């Protein structure tokens, strides 16, 4: 619902800007508002319903896994496995039945059943493993799960369910690397390959084929890729705190280069990524430049792991502020008020922490905090200038 | 292919897959020659991990998992007796050398039993099983699969199936 309200506020803001710029007249602005008021609420209601359905399916599915994990030895094997298969058949029949039902309830029910069946497969693999005391690697079970459910999960209709599926695929990949790390010539190869889902998800997000056929999956991939890149960007500057010897770092260089390669693979997708992120309402050229800058900064800070260095507290703090500032500029170019505010908040918080962190004496800390306060006031002025663009014109709305 | 048919096909795949896993589990567990192999807890500090016991085999005989032996190493199990679960005599052989393997009743690929192994336990019996594993003589009944793996059928404490000798916690 929050997303729906935010969308509505953003739309109202844009309509006002278009009207002020003379792109649309007052009458057209009024008609667009009426249309959005009529249809936006229905869309928001459906989105909330679908999300609740996906969460309900997730809850039932996790419950099934938990019940299977209890390993009920009192129930004969044939009954246990037969009941499990029967449950799977029932879920499949329910999905098929609800698929033809066009109303909201049918769609929500189908979504919940699809998510439940997704997790039922995992629970069943666990149940069979328990029943026959199959050893083996966890990654083998996860691969079977991912393969058996791949086609089925392309039928989901919510970003939440699609995101759950993409998370499942990513976890399978990471577990596979962890289980087979010692098979690589160097174990850090597995660490580096763990970054592959980041670039794969970015390319899934911008794939025209995926977007046309399964927009929910493209949206979910975009959300995961953005979150992954954002997390990597915020973590990378902190690598400057590391105080590793040349010998220790020599064991990491393949992982670092693979991580950088995964980031570099996102660069060509940047223009389409910013369009998917909604840059049409902002400044696509600047957003593309800022996104590329975020990727390059993250890669550069990752590369510092290849050079033995002492713990660089100052540099780590400055690097973090630099990355957050770039993220703020990206959010501004994308016309994303919430992300912009969050990034500016991170910059302010990091500056305050840096003062407390870097000055040991009371005098130093006091002066540092005064300086931080002044910087924060400066940021406030900067914020006001930027954020004023996002605030709706109350007079124009009345 | 209509959307409905594609949806049905997509839903049948996991059902068939789970069914196939069950059939595979059943086929692995069937076998004429049943072995009884002593086991011990893998980690005396924490035998119980989740709802399964961790253990390793105590093979009788040479009892080696081919340290420095042939790269394609198998455990040769001999001493089977019809209709009774026998404790095997074990020595290591090269899986590919038929003159070494022809005297064996069963061949187990050493990589399959390098351990630690798992035995899943009902959560109500978990703590009792952990204690029994530490204090009593434990063994498992198993059959050897066609691929050289093992399929464990049952866990015993002092020769008694665990269900008959353990008391569930309240």
Residue A64 pLDDT: 75
- The Cα of B109 is separated from the nearest Cα of chain A by a number of Å equal to 14
The C-alpha atoms of residue B110 and residue B71 are separated, in whole angstroms, by 10
Cβ neighbours of B26 in A, within 8 Å: 132
Chain B interface includes A131 (CB < 8 A) = yes
Q: Which two tokens stand for residue B86?
A: 């026998």
Q: Which of A14-18, A99-103, A223-227, B67-71 has the highest mean pLDDT?
A: A223-227
Coil, helix or strand at residue B64: coil
Chain B interface includes A69 (CB < 8 A) = yes
The C-alpha atoms of residue A123 and residue A75 are separated, in whole angstroms, by 17
pLDDT at A119 over 80: yes
First to last CA, chain B: 55
Given pLDDT bands bounded at 50, 70 and 90, which one contains residue B66? low
Question: B138: which strand partners?
Answer: B39, B157
- Residue B75 has φ and ψ, to the nearest 5°, of -95, 125
What mean pLDDT comes out for the span B38-64? 74
pLDDT at B152 over 60: yes
Work out the percent of chain A whose per-residue pLDDT is above 90: 26
Q: Which of A258-262, A378-382, B84-88 has the lowest mean pLDDT?
A: A378-382
What mean pLDDT comes out for the span A4-31? 76
pLDDT at A273 over 70: yes
Q: What is the pLDDT of residues A204-260, one digit of tens each?
A: 999 999 988 889 999 999 999 999 999 999 998 888 887 766 666 777 788 888 999
Q: Which of A193-202, A275-284, A325-334, B10-19 has the highest mean pLDDT?
A: B10-19
Candidate from A85, A133, A154 with C-beta closest to B18 = A85
ipTM: 0.80
Coil, helix or strand at residue B93: strand
Coil, helix or strand at residue A123: helix
Candidate from A133, A144, A151 with C-beta closest to B152 = A133
CB contact under 8 A, A70 and B8: no
> Counting beta carbons within 10 angstroms of the beta carbon of residue A38, is it exposed (0 to 12), middle (13 to 18) or buried (19 or more)?
exposed
Candidate from A117, A128, A151 with C-beta closest to B22 = A128
Given pLDDT bands bounded at 50, 70 and 90, which one contains residue B161? very high
pLDDT at A396 over 50: no
Q: Which two tokens stand for residue A217?
A: 């999956």
pLDDT at A74 over 50: yes
Chain B interface includes A264 (CB < 8 A) = no
Residue A68 pLDDT: 66
Name the nearest CA neighbour of A316 among A215, A205, A238, A396.
Answer: A238
What mean pLDDT comes out for the span B142-152? 87
The set of long-range contacts for A85-93, using a CB threshold of 8 Å and a minimum separation of 24, is A85/A124, A85/B15, A85/B18, A85/B19, A85/B22, A87/A120, A88/A117, A88/A120, A88/A121, A88/A124, A88/B14, A88/B15, A88/B18, A89/B15, A91/A116, A91/A117, A91/A120, A92/A117, A92/B8, A92/B11, A92/B12, A92/B15
Cβ neighbours of A95 in B, within 8 Å: 7, 11
Residue A69 pLDDT: 65
What mean pLDDT comes out for the span A6-34? 79
Contact A395, A18 (CB under 8 A): no
Cβ neighbours of B49 in A, within 8 Å: none
Cβ neighbours of A100 in B, within 8 Å: 4
Given pLDDT bands bounded at 50, 70 and 90, which one contains residue A393? very low
Q: Which of A78-82, A168-172, A267-271, A388-392 has the highest mean pLDDT?
A: A168-172
pLDDT at A322 over 70: yes
- Give this prediction's pTM: 0.75
pLDDT at A294 over 70: yes
Chain B interface includes A87 (CB < 8 A) = no
- Mutation site for A-interface testing, chosen from B54, B120, B126 by largest number of A Cβ within 10 Å: B120
Higher pLDDT: A356 or A109? It is A109
Chain B interface includes A216 (CB < 8 A) = no
Given pLDDT bands bounded at 50, 70 and 90, which one contains residue A318? confident
Candidate from B10, B51, B163 with C-beta closest to A151 = B10
Higher pLDDT: A387 or A159? It is A159
The C-alpha atoms of residue B26 and residue B21 are separated, in whole angstroms, by 9
Residue A290 pLDDT: 92
């Amino acid at each position: 619902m929050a997303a729906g309200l935010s969308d509505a506020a953003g739309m109202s803001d844009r309509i006002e800007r278009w009207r002020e710029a003379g792109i649309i007249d007052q009458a057209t602005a009024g008609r667009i508002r009426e249309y959005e008021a009529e249809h936006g609420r229905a869309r928001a209601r459906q989105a909330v319903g679908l999300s609740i359905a996906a969460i309900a399916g997730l809850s039932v599915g996790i419950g099934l896994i938990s019940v299977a994990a209890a390993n009920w030895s009192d129930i004969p094997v044939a009954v246990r496995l037969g009941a499990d298969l029967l449950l799977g058949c029932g879920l499949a029949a329910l999905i098929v039945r609800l698929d033809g039902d066009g109303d909201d309830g049918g769609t929500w029910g189908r979504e919940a059943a699809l998510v439940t069946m997704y997790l039922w497969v995992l629970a069943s693999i666990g149940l069979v493993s328990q029943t026959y005391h199959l050893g083996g690697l966890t990654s083998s079970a996860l691969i079977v799960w991912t393969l058996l459910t791949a086609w089925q999960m392309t039928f989901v209709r919510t970003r939440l369910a699609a995101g759950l599926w993409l998370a499942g695929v990513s976890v399978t990949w990471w577990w596979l690397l962890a289980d087979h790390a010692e098979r690589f010539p160097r174990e850090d190869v597995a660490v580096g390959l763990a970054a592959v889902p980041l670039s794969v998800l970015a390319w899934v997000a911008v794939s025209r084929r995926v977007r046309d056929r399964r927009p929910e999956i493209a949206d979910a991939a975009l959300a995961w890729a953005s979150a992954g890149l954002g997390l990597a960007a915020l973590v990378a500057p902190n690598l400057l705190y590391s105080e590793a010897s040349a010998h220790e770092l020599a064991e990491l260089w393949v992982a670092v280069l693979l991580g950088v390669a995964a980031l570099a693979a996102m660069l060509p997708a940047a223009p389409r990524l910013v369009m998917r992120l909604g840059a049409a309402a902002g400044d696509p050229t600047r957003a593309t430049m800022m996104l590329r800058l975020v990727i390059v900064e993250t890669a550069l800070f990752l590369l510092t792991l290849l050079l033995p260095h002492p713990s660089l507290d100052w540099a780590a703090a400055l690097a973090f502020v630099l990355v957050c500032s770039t993220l703020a500029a990206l959010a501004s170019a994308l016309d994303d008020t919430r992300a912009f505010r969050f990034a500016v908040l991170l910059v302010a918080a990091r500056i305050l922490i840096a003062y407390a962190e870097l000055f040991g004496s009371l005098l130093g800390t006091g002066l540092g905090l005064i300086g931080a306060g002044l910087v924060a006031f400066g940021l406030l002025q900067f914020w006001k200038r930027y954020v004023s663009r996002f605030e709706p014109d109350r007079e124009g709305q009345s | 292919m209509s959307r409905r048919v594609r949806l049905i096909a997509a839903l049948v795949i996991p059902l068939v897959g789970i069914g196939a896993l069950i059939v595979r589990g059943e086929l692995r567990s069937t076998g004429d020659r049943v072995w009884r192999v002593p086991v011990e807890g893998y980690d005396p500090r924490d035998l119980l991990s989740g709802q399964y016991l961790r253990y390793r085999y105590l093979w009788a005989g040479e009892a080696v998992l081919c340290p420095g032996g042939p790269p394609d190493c198998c455990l040769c199990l001999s001493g089977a007796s019809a209709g009774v679960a026998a404790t095997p005599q074990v020595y290591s052989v090269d899986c590919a050398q038929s003159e070494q393997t022809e005297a064996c009743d069963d061949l187990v690929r050493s990589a399959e039993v390098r351990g630690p192994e798992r035995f899943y336990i009902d959560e109500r019996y978990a703590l009792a099983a952990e204690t029994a594993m530490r204090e009593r003589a434990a063994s498992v009944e198993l059959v050897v699969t066609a691929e050289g793996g093992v399929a464990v059928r049952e866990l015993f404490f002092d020769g008694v199936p665990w269900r008959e000798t353990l008391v569930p916690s309240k």
